[in-house]
Amino acid sequence: MVVCSIMALIIQKYGGTSIGDLQKVDAVATRIIQAKKLGNKIVVVVSAMAGETRRLDNLAKQITPQCNPRELDALLVAGEQMSVALLAIALINKGCPAVSLSGSQLGIITDSNHNAAQILKIDPSNILQVLDSGKICVVAGFQGVDANGNTTTLGFEGSDTTAVALAAALQADECQIYTDVPGIHTGDPKIIPQARQLENINIQQMLELSGLGAQILHHTSVAIAEKHKVPLKVLSSATGDGTVINHDNGNNYNFSVISGIACNKKQMLVTAKNINYKLSNNIISQISARDITIDMLTLEQSALVFAVDSLFKAKINNIYNDFLVTDGLAKISVVGSNLRSDAKIINTIFATLDSLEIEIKICSTSEMRISILIDTIYLEQAVNAIHGAFNLAELEEIITA
């Protein structure tokens, strides 16, 4: 059980696996009541039960692969509506007054970009009214409404964004994200069995990890937490103390720190040769206009090279006919502070992969991360070797003078 200061305002977010069946809903209700008994005011954000959003999406796609975005949003929010009602019923059944609120009742106003809406503002008056009445407020994640009252959804893992945005709007004392893992690790435990849980991590480093493939927290939610300095914690819905995401400036260290390794399995390397500066600018402008996220950009005298997620393959090929595309690649990123300043770190990465005869296709560096592209078939071998080379399973953090 997480113990917080008396009379704190706590946002708790539970994902689909945490409330995956009625037994888990009951366990979550018990945890919430324990936190309230400490004197805390509690706002609970819940996702749809595990697999429910996908089930609803598949139903729509059986009718047509090209669903009307507005109507698809109207369908998908049903998963969260069911979750909030079931959890509120469970709380009331245990003698704890609770009220469930939908995205529209929450006062979350978004733009009209259906299936991937952005939050514009939050009116917390309804939530505050519920809290002032002494009740627990159970709210639906992942959803809002636009200025015309149309239901919108926030995209993949949007409930994280709901929780952190509410924490910012309500100036909560802490936002707790409950997942099926006990916290942030030095790598994905499903790929790196020796990955170690971190007691704390800097918000900038968490922002890097979330944007590079680490899937514990959605990147947008971390960006909101950074902007509004939301006290954030990731922990298991079962056990453990979790990981505190702090807001100190990790870049103020006068030494190098490695916090973790992120990986993304579905990457492409795109090259345009024999092009001039004007054509390069035109290509980059078209990439931006299509909302395609690229990385590891290298602009040479007559060539443009960048990495991109494989899901953008069709969009990329429509921009320029003579792209040379190499797919079947994976991106591995070592994240920390003051990394580019320490040649020993990049040398360790290169030497480790060279010993395994794994070719690095491209590399990019910054003070907060070093990223490489390799063939996907070597991903597991490579990340475990790099994790071991820096002894991340044992050390609180790797520090070099």
List pLDDT tens digits, range 17-37: 999 999 999 999 999 999 999
Supply the pLDDT for residue 398: 52
Model confidence at 3, in pLDDT bands (50, 70, 90)?
very low
CA angle 353, 357, 359 (to 5 degrees): 70
Determine the pLDDT at residue 215. 77
| pLDDT > 80? residue 399 | no
Q: Pull the structure tokens for residue 145.
A: 């409404």
CB neighbour list of residue 392: distance below 8 Å, 6 or more residues apart: 186, 187, 194, 195, 196, 258, 260, 261, 398
pLDDT at residue 4 in the model:
45
- Residue 332 CA to residue 14 CA, distance in Å, equals 29
Stretch 382-397: mean pLDDT: 88
Q: Report pLDDT for 274.
A: 85
Crossing angle of helices 78-93 and 22-37, rounded to 10° = 60
pLDDT band per the 50, 70, 90 thresholds, residue 262: very high
Cross-strand bridge partners of residue 243: 234
- The mean pLDDT value for 316-322 works out to 86
Cross-strand bridge partners of residue 258: 336, 398
Q: What pLDDT does 322 receive?
A: 84
- Check if the beta carbon of residue 90 is closer than 8 Å to that of residue 147: no
pLDDT in tens, 146-175: 999 999 999 888 999 999 999 999 999 999
Alpha-carbon span 373 to 113, nearest angstrom? 32
pTM for this entry: 0.88
DSSP 98-163: EEEE-HHHHTEEE-S-TTS--EEEE-THHHHHHHHTTPEEEEE-SEEE-TTS-EEE--TTHHHHHH
Backbone phi, psi, residue 121, to 5°: -160, 160
Q: Which 3 state secondary structure label does DSSP give 354?
A: helix
- Taking the C-alpha atoms of residue 365 and residue 17, their distance in angstroms, rounded to an integer, is 36
- Residue 300: pLDDT band (50, 70, 90) is confident
pLDDT at 254: 59
For 117, residues 6+ apart whose C-beta sits below 8 A from its C-beta are: 110, 111, 144, 146, 152, 153, 154, 155
Q: How far apart are CA 339 and CA 397, in angstroms?
A: 13
Q: Which helix (H) or strand (E) holds 104?
A: helix 103-106
Rounded to the nearest angstrom, the gap between the alpha carbon of residue 90 and the centroid of all alpha carbons in its chain is: 29
Q: Quick one: what percent of the chain has pLDDT higher than 70?
A: 94
**pLDDT tens, position by position, 323-377:** 999 999 999 999 998 898 889 999 999 999 999 999 999 999 999 999 999 999 9
Q: What is the pLDDT of residues 74-106, one digit of tens each?
A: 999 999 999 999 999 999 999 999 999 998 898
Bin 107: left if φ > 0, else alpha if -120 < ψ < 50, else beta: left
Q: Is the pLDDT of residue 56 over 90?
A: yes
Is pLDDT larger for residue 77 or for residue 211? 77
- Predicted confidence at residue 181, as pLDDT, reads 82
Task: Output the pLDDT for position 401.
Answer: 39
Quote the pLDDT of residue 248.
Answer: 80
What's the confidence (pLDDT) of residue 252? 56
pLDDT confidence of residue 342: 86
pLDDT at site 397 = 53
pLDDT digits (tens, 9 = 90+) for 230-253: 999 999 876 768 999 999 865 555
CA gyration radius for the chain? 22
Q: Which domains does the chain have, with CATH numbers?
A: 9-180 (3.40.1160.10), 256-400 (3.30.2130.10)
Could you tell me which of 362, 340, 346 has the C-alpha nearest to residue 294?
Answer: 362
Residue identified by tokens 């070592």 is 334
**Residue 1: which pLDDT band, with cuts at 50, 70 and 90?**
very low
